[in-house]
Amino acid sequence: MSHYRSNLRDIEFNLFEVLGRGDVLGTGIYADLDVDTVRALLAEIDHLARTVLADSFAEGDRNPPVFDPVSHTVTLPEAFKASYRALMDSGFWQLEIPSELGGQDTPPSVQWAVNELTVGANPAAFLYAAGPKFATVLWHNGTERDRRIAQIMVERQWGATMALTEPEAGSDVGAGRTRALPQPDGTWHLEGVKRFITSAEHDLTENIVHLVLARPAGVPGHGGPGTKGLSLFVVPKHHFDLQTGALTGERNGVVVTGVEHKMGIRASTTCELSFGVDGAPAVGYLLGEVHDGIKQMFQVIEHARMMVGTKAIATLSTGYLNALDHAKTRVQGPDLTQVTDKTAPRVPITHHPDVRRSLMTQKAHAEGLRALVLFTASLQDRNEAARSSGAADDVASRLNELLLPVVKGYGSERSWVLLGTEALQTLGGSGFLTDHPLEQYVRDAKIDTLYEGTTAIQGQDLFFRKIVRDRGRALGELSALATAFVESGSGDAGSGAAGDGQLKVERGLLARALEDLGAMVAAMVGDLYASSAEHGGDPQNIYKVGLNTTRLLMALGDVTCAWLLLRGAEVALRALNEAQRPAEQAFYEGKVASARWFARTVLPRLSAELAVVESTDLAVMDLAEESF
């Protein structure tokens, strides 16, 4: 039996019934991709995900890659290789790259819907399969040479990595010390050590292309301190003919010198990558022949942050559905109404209120986070549509930027916590056993709060860059959308208002939560202002902001998910009015129930969070380290 339980019905509900993706498909650059084709595609990928892709999920964990330090090579288990090969053979990666590079132009919303299925079934296989997508970075930023490398990467399905982190440079990427020395032939020789590099060695592809941030040495005007002094270099594992792509037989001087032993996602190699060892130079090409490394790398990072959020929600969703299956069949104890009757029949645990609380909490969050991922992806659709017509959609672009740290930071935190505290817990002691996938889900999902920028980094990105630097425009747009939803349903039942007034209480809760969120931001902006020496403030006040950025990230996630769930509930209420098959009725009733649950159990807590923000002082910052 497959570990992976997908929720294709909810994915399609979001895409077609809530987000109206049918309007985007079948026109413009997506002319040959209509709704029926996308539904067929999703069904095909769903089948692959639940079968051959999911097959090696546990095997890759129990028999992780084997590293040989002498040859600097890694061997993956055969079963895992079979899943990877099936994934690549499915051609799913073509959806992620433009047609001019051999792909199939596909709206990002459809790409992320597909990605939920593949990354959910086998996260490690998905990570190894990112090579073609990485090629788009060379394609969009590169010279003719780089664009040829991009084509070769796609044609030959090479692997790829993003190499930022170093032993002394984790969150602080700008502390990186890896150097790049210019050569007379226009290439560069890299020297240094990168740490924790995903997919830097394996035996799945004939070559691996590393995208490396390094500091150019001896180049006037470049290579200064911090992230702005970093440039992006394309460093292949094996040298190859730049015209044909054929390997020359020469190994480049970049080798893996260690592979980490990890808590989770163990089939994915996490490598120490050394440049310029054993006398062989690590030859690289400067991407686009411009020194603009951090900006170029953030194209990758933005995509990868979206990917991590999608991975997190995919895992929460399959965790919930596994828990639900178990709960339906596990018989234990009497119904609470008959608790004093020792002869009362024993019931499935789904009858117990606390189990229902737990299941609905899981369902509401999994669906809320899916709605968040796909709504954000629909903003990317707008960006792509604008770009393809040579224009820009400023609002969509800002909203997407605002929501990326929420997708990544909030999505990963909620998913990892709920997988442990609720999904695994639903199985009782069995959840702790390796017989069930829950314990691996918990281990595999923890990484999502760490890589691609920890939750703390996402919170700071949200407040300082996406709110303050944006002068609150994107946040204002988002609040306006949610407020319009609140106001659209102000009529009573029977008044003909949207949703027939049935979500009135929940709309009220959302309105209150929006006020709380606004007040939180106002308090934090006030603290920021009060830290400005220019305005006569005390610089220490910025600590108050830093004490609350993660809190704000989580609050914005709660409010956005509530709004999106309620919007979906309204669609579901309308659909319920039409004659439906029982399964469809149950689905829509479930959608309304999860939105109500989320609004009623999550949103009231925001008032308490606001109180914490407003009463923040510097006591914890003034405390001596010895007192911790």
Q: Which residues of this protein are in contact with ligand ST9, per CB under 6 A? A: 127, 130, 133-134, 136-137, 162, 164-165, 171, 173-174, 198, 226-227, 294-295, 298-304, 307, 451-453, 457, 461, 465
198 part of the interface to ligand FAD, by CB under 6 A: yes
Q: In angstroms, what is the minimal distance from the CB of 214 to ligand FAD? A: 12
Between 153 and 447, CB nearer to ligand FAD: 447
453 part of the interface to ligand FAD, by CB under 6 A: yes
Q: Residue 249 class from Cβ within 10 Å (0-12 exposed, 13-18 middle, 19+ buried)? A: exposed
174 binds, among ligand ST9, ligand FAD, none (CB under 5 to 8 A by kind): ligand ST9
Residue bearing tokens 């590393």: 210
620 part of the interface to ligand FAD, by CB under 6 A: no
Between 198 and 378, CB nearer to ligand ST9: 198
- Residues 151/102, Cβ–Cβ less than 8 Å: yes
Task: Give alpha helix (H) positions in 2-161.
Answer: 8-12, 35-48, 54-55, 57-62, 78-89, 108-121, 123-128, 131-141, 144-155
Q: In angstroms, what is the minimal distance from the CB of 165 to ligand FAD? A: 3
Q: In angstroms, what is the minimal distance from the CB of 501 to ligand FAD? A: 44
Query: Which range, of 191-199, 331-339, 358-366, 616-624, touches ligand FAD by CB under 6 A?
Result: 191-199
Residue 183 CA from chain centroid, whole number: 38
Q: Amino acid identity, residue 170? A: G
Q: In angstroms, what is the minimal distance from the CB of 399 to ligand FAD? A: 25
Strands 73-75 and 238-240, how do they pair?
unpaired
364 binds, among ligand ST9, ligand FAD, none (CB under 5 to 8 A by kind): none
The beta strand positions in 276-312, using DSSP E, are: 282-286
465 binds, among ligand FAD, ligand ST9, none (CB under 5 to 8 A by kind): ligand ST9
Q: In angstroms, what is the minimal distance from the CB of 105 to ligand FAD? A: 28
Between 420 and 453, CB nearer to ligand FAD: 453
Between 135 and 355, CB nearer to ligand FAD: 135
Considering only 350, 454, 483, 585, the residue that binds ligand FAD (CB under 6 A) is 454
In 3D space, the residue among 214, 202, 203, 197 whose CA is nearest the CA of residue 273 turns out to be 197
In 3D space, the residue among 371, 238, 210 whose CA is nearest the CA of residue 300 turns out to be 210
413 binds, among ligand FAD, ligand ST9, none (CB under 5 to 8 A by kind): none
447 binds, among ligand ST9, ligand FAD, none (CB under 5 to 8 A by kind): ligand FAD
Between 49 and 545, CB nearer to ligand FAD: 545
Site string for ligand FAD, 251-280 (x = CB under 6 A): -----------x-------x----------
175 part of the interface to ligand FAD, by CB under 6 A: no
Considering only 175, 277, 450, 481, the residue that binds ligand FAD (CB under 6 A) is 450
Q: State how far the Cα of 217 lies from the Cα of 231, in Å rounded to an integer.
A: 11
Q: State how far the Cα of 462 lies from the Cα of 553, in Å rounded to an integer.
A: 7
193 part of the interface to ligand FAD, by CB under 6 A: no
Name, in order, each residue with C-beta under 8 angstroms of 54's C-beta and a sequence gap of 6 or more. Answer: 2, 3, 4, 83, 121, 122
Torsion of CA 139, 211, 459, 449, to 10 degrees: 120
Considering only 164, 254, 297, 379, the residue that binds ligand FAD (CB under 6 A) is 164
Name, in order, each residue with C-beta under 8 angstroms of 343's C-beta and a sequence gap of 6 or more. Answer: none
Q: In angstroms, what is the minimal distance from the CB of 291 to ligand ST9? A: 12
Considering only 170, 176, 281, 368, the residue that binds ligand FAD (CB under 6 A) is 170
Instruction: Give the CA distances from residue 33 to residues 12, 16, 102, 577, in Å, rounded to whole numbers and listed in that order.
Output: 15, 14, 16, 31
For the chain, how big is the Rg over CA atoms in Å?
Answer: 25
In 3D space, the residue among 294, 359, 12, 486 whose CA is nearest the CA of residue 478 turns out to be 486
Q: In angstroms, what is the minimal distance from the CB of 625 to ligand ST9? A: 24
Supply φ then ψ for residue 228, to 5 degrees.
-70, -15
296 part of the interface to ligand FAD, by CB under 6 A: no
Strands 331-334 and 346-348, how do they pair?
antiparallel
Q: In angstroms, what is the minimal distance from the CB of 302 to ligand FAD? A: 14
Q: State how far the Cα of 578 lies from the Cα of 600, in Å rounded to an integer.
A: 27
149 binds, among ligand FAD, ligand ST9, none (CB under 5 to 8 A by kind): none
Considering only 154, 286, 372, 447, the residue that binds ligand FAD (CB under 6 A) is 447
- Residues 97/123, Cβ–Cβ less than 8 Å: no
Buried b (16+ CB within 10 A) or exposed e, 530-540: bbeeeeeeeee
**What is the end-to-end Cα distance of the chain in Å, rounded?**
48
Q: In angstroms, what is the minimal distance from the CB of 418 to ligand FAD? A: 20
Show the tokens assigned to 609.
């969070």
Considering only 219, 456, 519, 542, the residue that binds ligand FAD (CB under 6 A) is 456
Cβ-closest position to ligand FAD = 170
Between 223 and 568, CB nearer to ligand ST9: 223
Q: Residue 608 class from Cβ within 10 Å (0-12 exposed, 13-18 middle, 19+ buried)? A: exposed
186 binds, among ligand ST9, ligand FAD, none (CB under 5 to 8 A by kind): none
Supply φ then ψ for residue 161, to 5 degrees.
-135, 165
226 binds, among ligand FAD, ligand ST9, none (CB under 5 to 8 A by kind): ligand ST9
Active site residues: 452
CB atoms within 10 A of CB 224: 12
136 binds, among ligand FAD, ligand ST9, none (CB under 5 to 8 A by kind): ligand ST9
Q: In angstroms, what is the minimal distance from the CB of 218 to ligand ST9? A: 22
21 binds, among ligand FAD, ligand ST9, none (CB under 5 to 8 A by kind): none
What is the binding site for ligand FAD (CB under 6 A)?
161-165, 170-171, 196-198, 262, 270, 447, 450-451, 453-454, 456
